[in-house]
Chains A and B, each alone.
Chain A
Amino acid sequence: MSDTDITSTEMDGMGPGGTKVGLARVLGPAHIWGLGVGIVLVGEYMGWNFSVGKGGAYAALLACWFAGILYSCVAMIDSEVTSTVAAAGGQYTQAKHIIGPLMAFNVGLYLVFAYTMLEAANAITFGFLIDTVAGMTGHEGLDQRPFIILAIMFLAWLNYRGVLATLTFSLVITAFAFCAIIALFLTTAVFMSDSPLRHAELMTDLPYGWLGVIAAMHFGLWYYLGIEGTCQAAEEVRSPARSLPFGTLAGIMTLLIAATLTWYVCVGLMPWEYLGQAGVPLFDAARMSGSVTLMVLLGIGTMFATLASANGCINDASRAWFAMGRDHYLPDWFGAVHPKFRTPYRAIIFLVPIALIFALGAPLDQVITFSILSGLLGYTFMPLNVILFRRKWPVDTIKRGYEHPFHPIPAIILLCLCGVTFFAVFLGYGSQLVAMLSFYIIVSLWFHFWRYRFVRRAAQFTMPWPRPKGY
């Protein structure tokens, strides 16, 4: 056994003797749960229902469960690798140590664009919800843009001021949004004497057959997209080896419950053709329940879910951008930590206008698709990552905070489900898929032939690990 021990209090992942940079280690397992679930839970409030549109109600349920399997594999794999690679940047830092710089650069960009576009999608939904509420109270034609801008600016400011307050805020509003889903389910399915749910009358056959089930996997990812973002906080948790696996695995369990309850309530209240294109389906479900209390609760829940998600996205995208700056993959100006608030403040500020460009200029389904595609490329990297990790550093060479069981079965399942999801995206959104891949191919060539010359070679390898086997 190597003397490398990630659980040691003397050694924290950046090397013996403490971190070289000043991000504050202040977070606990509850913050990790709040970060992961907070980013994702908005997927239950909006976006997942596009999978109903792509394949019908039953297809959306199957997609929910298959995507659940995909993300369970992601959570297991991520928990093992991250409990060992405890540094900001999450999967980017994993790729840097396990596969190589170009893969790391790509993974860093997947993270930044997946989270920045998800942040934009959240802001669009926030503006749409404000507009809907304004319309219901007799104020038609509200301009959504000021609310979109204000939401992004406020959350960026919160992130700038410090990670503890930011993720405590996320934890509280995420818990509220999750409880609102539970309350909706219990009220409509259990407590109401005359339940408004009409599954028997509203459920139909698969409108597109089994092809629709595969197609539904595209937006099925939206039920869970972003849970892997827990890894971005690796450098800011007090005990990464304990908190990260606990927070991530508790998070995916929470989301599996929330996703299934959301599907059950919504398809029992709305025809699938409406549900398949609804902007805020859980809020619509609350309206359809006939309870004003539920409507207010789910309205606030939707608002909190979008804010929690955007908040977590700003946190995660900025950490990935910061980590790439610190390694000179991007200009090192971005690798600065605020001397007082101990946050990657330059990365936070820089990404604000990018999020605004996406939020103010592109349709919601396009933004979601680009976020999903970046996420999907990242999930395809993960099985390769864990297989190479186990091969280069077998379990007896580095002490892991968590070892995922049944290796390599989760990796193989994940790779197969990613293949199915690529095909699902191809069905209907093929041009975006090719555009996105073209972008990543061009930036890969740009990085390899130009940008990489400014990167120190050995300095990238910051883990206190032994030499990898086979090198």
Chain B
Amino acid sequence: MANYIPPVQGKISQIIDVIVLLVLAIGALYLPLFLGLAGSAQTSEVPENVTWDALGQNATMVEKWNELGYATATDAAELITSRFDYSFSVLNLLVMIVVVIGYYFIVLRFSGKEYSEVISEKFGDK
């Protein structure tokens, strides 16, 4: 098998390659932020009559909240009542599973093809 000779890439083309990679990476981080999809879903249900008791805090907990700078129950109420929403749809979970497995499938399949070429050129055809 003849050795593969790669084409020479021009400087502008190299710069474009790097820019493409960076735009995609920055997009992956910022797109969910811009679309408001980033971050976990947290909700907070503060009771109408806010007291340390109503928030389920014992004397030691109250003492610690005070030491942390939260002088009253109202100051700490939102923090204490804040909870993640772990409800999810099975469909979303299935989509995630398909995306994860699909991703590895694509990568391993293409890698396998490329690897065979590398070994064949490095060690010669069997």
Are B83 and A207 touching (Cβ within 8 A)? yes
Are A439 and B114 touching (Cβ within 8 A)? no
Indicate whether A168 reaches chain B with its CB closer than 8 angstroms.
Answer: no
Which residues of A have CB within 8 Å of B20? Answer: 446
Which residues of A have CB within 8 Å of B107? Answer: 102-103, 106, 444
Return B70 CB to nearest CB of chain A, in Å: 8
Which residues of A have CB within 8 Å of B120? Answer: 471
Return A360 CB to nearest CB of chain B, in Å: 12
Return B55 CB to nearest CB of chain A, in Å: 9
Indicate whether A436 reaches chain B with its CB closer than 8 angstroms.
Answer: yes
Within 8 Å by CB of A99, from B25, B95, B108, B117, lies B108
Q: Interface residue count for A (Cβ, 8 Å)?
A: 82
Are A273 and B82 touching (Cβ within 8 A)? yes
Return B17 CB to nearest CB of chain A, in Å: 6
Are B3 and A437 touching (Cβ within 8 A)? no
Are A455 and B6 touching (Cβ within 8 A)? yes
**Interface membership of chain A positions 252-285, coded 1 if the CB is closer than 8 angstroms to chain B and 0 otherwise:** 0000000000000000011101100100000010
**Interface membership of chain B positions 4-24, coded 1 if the CB is closer than 8 angstroms to chain A and 0 otherwise:** 101101000011011011101
Instruction: Identify whether the interface residues of B are mostly helix, strand, loop, or mixed.
Output: helix
Most chain A CB neighbours (cut-off 10 Å) among B27, B37, B76, B86: B86
Are A273 and B118 touching (Cβ within 8 A)? no
Are B68 and A457 touching (Cβ within 8 A)? no
Indicate whether A150 reaches chain B with its CB closer than 8 angstroms.
Answer: no
Are B6 and A439 touching (Cβ within 8 A)? no
Residues facing B in A437-458 (CB within 8 A) are: 437-446, 448, 450-458
Given contacts A207-B83, A428-B86, A467-B123, contact A439 B115 (CB under 8 A): no
Cα distance A358–B122 in the bound complex, in angstroms:
40
Return A231 CB to nearest CB of chain B, in Å: 20
Q: How large is the interface on B (under 10, 10 to 19, 20 to 34, 35 or more residues)?
A: 35 or more
What residue of chain B has the Cβ atom nearest to residue A436's Cβ? B28
Within 8 Å by CB of B61, from A202, A212, A284, A461, lies A202
Residues facing A in B27-81 (CB within 8 A) are: 27-33, 37-41, 57-61, 64-65, 67-68, 76, 79-80
Residues facing B in A86-132 (CB within 8 A) are: 99-104, 106, 109, 113, 117
Within 8 Å by CB of A273, from B31, B58, B79, B92, lies B79
Indicate whether A58 reaches chain B with its CB closer than 8 angstroms.
Answer: no
Which residues of B have CB within 8 Å of A363? Answer: 33, 38-39
Indicate whether A194 reaches chain B with its CB closer than 8 angstroms.
Answer: no
Which residues of A have CB within 8 Å of B113? Answer: 100
Are B28 and A198 touching (Cβ within 8 A)? no
Cα distance A356–B30 in the bound complex, in angstroms:
14
Cα distance A367–B26 in the bound complex, in angstroms:
11
Are A358 and B86 touching (Cβ within 8 A)? no
What residue of chain A has the Cβ atom nearest to residue B62's Cβ? A271
Taking Cβ atoms with an 8 Å cutoff, the residues of A that contact B are: 53-54, 99-104, 106, 109, 113, 117, 198, 201-202, 207-208, 211-212, 215, 269-271, 273-274, 277, 284, 288, 328, 330-331, 333, 354, 357-358, 361-363, 365-367, 370, 380, 384, 422-423, 426-446, 448, 450-458, 460-461, 467-468, 471
Taking Cβ atoms with an 8 Å cutoff, the residues of B that contact A are: 3-4, 6-7, 9, 14-15, 17-18, 20-22, 24-33, 37-41, 57-61, 64-65, 67-68, 76, 79-80, 82-86, 88, 92-93, 95-96, 99-100, 102-104, 106-108, 110-123, 126
